[in-house]
Amino acid sequence: MIMRQIVIASKNQGKIKEIKNFLHGLDIECFSIDDFPEVPIIEEDCKTFEDNALKKAKIVFDHTKITTIADDSGLEIPYLNNQPGVHSSRYAGESASDLQNCQKLLDELKGVDIDHRAARFKCILVLHNSLYNNMLFEGKCRGYVIEEMKGENGFGYDPLFVPEGYNKTFAELDLVTKNKISHRGKALTSLRTFLVRIS
């Protein structure tokens, strides 16, 4: 099955840019849900990344009838009982900015030593249409949370997260390096490999 169009089930411009970069070079026209005003606001009220991604993919496909990819991702910190987790994008409130979410996380970890600042980013990516019903691609990246924001690139918690084997945050790394090791990068690499195989 050759896919000529894909809807990215997101309004997050940073996420949309990352996904489009990974699909660059494929004969696929990418849209976001901003291109389809008839798609309702989707409440991410599920308890797992998987269920949130599946919900978004199905709703968007049902309204657009175009192959949809949706992801849910977030930062899990064992010391905080795996919070922010599925609440990563709204950790400081429903309309919180990236800066506000990062600041709340810093407040939660204030005075916590490095041994308890271990963290992992997780991404679940779903491909959904009438033929490939809810195919899942997963990516994880382990690291730790530092005590102050560093770097100007990326979005979300990128300025606070240093991946294993590196001494820079996601927000300090160049895009090529980040895409090789990040949770979303790993999931998107698997998705791209699949799309190339079926094209």
Among all residues, which ones are annotated catalytic?
72
What Cα–Cα distance (Å) separates residue 143 from each residue in 37, 76, 160, 180?
38, 10, 10, 15
Inter-axis angle of helices 183-198 and 13-23, to 10 degrees? 40
Pair 116, 126: CB distance under 8 Å: no
Look up tokens 């919180």; give the residue: 96
